[in-house]
Amino acid sequence: MSPDPARRIVELIELLDRYSREYYEQDAPSVSDGVYDQLFRELQALEAQSPESSRSDSPTQRVGGKPVAGFLPVSHSVPMLSLDNAFSDEELLDFDRRARERLGSVEMAPIEYMCEPKLDGIAVAIRYERGVLVQAATRGDGQTGEDITHNVRTVKSIPLRLHSAETIETLEVRGEIFMPKRGFARLNELAESSGEKIFANPRNAAAGSLRQLDPSITAKRPLAFYCYGVGVTEGVTLPETQFGLLQWYKSLGLPVNVEVEAVSGIRACIDYYEQLSRRRSSLDFDIDGIVYKVNSLAEQSYLGFVSRAPRWAIARKFPAEEAVTRLIDVEFQVGRTGAITPVARLEPVSVGGVVVSNATLHNEDEIERLQIKIGDLVIVRRAGDVIPQVARALTQERQGELRSINFPTQCPVCGSPVLREEGEAVQRCSGALSCSAQRKGAIIHFVSRKAMDVEGFGEKLVDQLVEMGRLKDPGGVYSLTHSELAALPRMGSKSAQNLIDAIERSKQTTFPRFLYALGIREVGVTTADRLSKHFGDIDTLLAASTDDLLAVPDIGPIVAKHIRAFLATSANLKVVHNLLDAGLEWPEIVSSETQNAPLAGQTWVVTGKLEHLSREEASELLRSFGANVAGSVSKTTSVLLAGPGAGSKLKKAQALGVEVIDEEEFVARKSNWI
């Protein structure tokens, strides 16, 4: 009797999964590649015969399915924040001092830290439900990433099903996808032998692989993964420490970097940095520094976040890589806010595996400090291993005719006077939206993802429409027609309609997005959110005085000055009113300063799994009643709304004496707030 195909499929999936773990996680394969391939082909044949018995966690699903049409956006329920950087022992000691002060442990035992190599790869969030991989997304801007599930499923070191995780409702694993050095070398050898373009460095190769619409291409790339953090969880109690989290991940079958280490005190962190930096070149993966995290998850929760980074973690960067080249010329670029930035044009040179031909000189003061001239040999470095900049001129090597760098007194784009405000290092074009460079920058910012999010409205199209004289300001976006877009080169009727549809969809927005999209100097995403919560509507904000603006949390005199200057300019007010007339609208915001708001001045935290509301819905309700909703419990927390599965936040609230209520009590109170 032939074996039951369904049962044999299950056996083969489990067997191949074990062999993969031995190969990729334990570096101790128990069978040859030939045996593995034979079993793999048997599984493929059985799944073809019995497709109803196929499973999403089968290793055959890694080879890549059909190409996708594009990358869909994925919102991160728990933001994927950046890390602050330290470039010296002193900055690292300051970070430790601040953490101990906030924890009240200045005179107590040293903090225990987790030390992890900072991989030079692509940050991703991988969501498992009941132990099965269901979604993977890039970090994006921290709030919204791109769905790359089809490609992540092809990465062999990422399990499609976790071990013994069937009871875990949701587990979002965060980590880094990268390309090992050996795999990168093989990839470039194959590309060169076939006459294809080679990659500049492993990070570019990894990023390009994950940006493929065809997963069969990604499946051929030697990508790897290490996990280091956690996002959304439901139905599970996490370990108490960062180190415990990673050890738990290993038990689930997730790959963890063998170099991670828990140490006591900041001095041990410095020792770890020095030891690993000496071995950096021998590692099979690129790293650009070390990440230090407070090991206790409860202490992480207590320390909380600033607007863009956690207070409980920091990245110690390795010194920037440098190279020598010649300064050929300097050009002056005009930014969205009119800032004039000198850009060095260089003889191309490789710096840390990246060919650099342009670098920033920042401003006139920096040029003066460097005492640099056109024709000089210069040291170029990638600051933080990313942004090329000119570090210094080799003045002792000067020979031949050199030219001084003269900062323009008139805008190189529109000819308007260049002004420098007292106390500022930056010089700016005074032409505002009459300057086509500023106009382009303002419109590109306006349609960008974190602003109005007009999909398909790229920089080239903005350049085209501004140069034609069709777009005079951001408001002109909403008067574009299908016929004029379709008539543009390389556009076509279908693309034009897609863009018109995207423009129409963007009219349904939020007040914070609208404020951010206006491009007011110093008003980023966080400040726009605070302004919207404080004032509630555009009319109240337009009427706000400088004193009113200074009453908004974390807004100081400089930011208030820029907001008032923007709102006092008739051209800017005309743009605002034109946008409102075009039909832009958003849900009403109940200001946290409104006297009738029942929860004004209170800070709430939501945790655990609620029965009748999602945490996001509960948070929105709380905000509508005037509350500030925070992500972590602290001494300033008014109430913790806790559902089943609440973990460290509940313990922290109880330890601090914070009021804790369940969903039933929340619903009962809600009826009194309406």
Active site residues: 118
Instruction: Quote the strand ranges of 384-454, DSSP E.
Output: 387-393, 418-419, 428-429
φ and ψ at 457, to 5 degrees? -95, 80
**Integer angstrom CA distances of residue 620 from 52, 465, 533, 623:** 42, 39, 12, 5
**Integer angstrom CA distances of residue 667 from 82, 610, 671:** 36, 11, 7
Instruction: Measure the CA angle with vertex 456, ends 452 and 462; round to 5°.
Output: 80
Radius of gyration of the chain, Cα coordinates, nearest whole angstrom: 28
Tally of CB atoms within 10 A around 221: 20
Task: Report the alpha-carbon distance of residue 197 to residue 191 in Å, rounded.
Answer: 6
Task: Report the alpha-carbon distance of residue 103 to residue 635 in Å, rounded.
Answer: 11
Three-class secondary structure of residue 437 per DSSP: helix
| Parallel, antiparallel or unpaired: strands 73-75 and 144-146 | antiparallel
Q: Which residue is listed with tokens 């976006």?
A: 477
DSSP line for 227-285: EEEEEEEES-PPPSBHHHHHHHHHHHT----TT-EEEESHHHHHHHHHHHHHHGGGSSS
H or E segment at 570?
helix 570-581
DSSP state of 200: S
Greatest Cα-to-Cα distance within the chain, rounded to the nearest angstrom: 90
Three-class secondary structure of residue 393 per DSSP: strand
Tally of CB atoms within 10 A around 6: 14
Three-class secondary structure of residue 509 per DSSP: coil
- How buried is residue 341: exposed, middle or buried, by Cβ count under 10 Å (0-12/13-18/19+)? middle
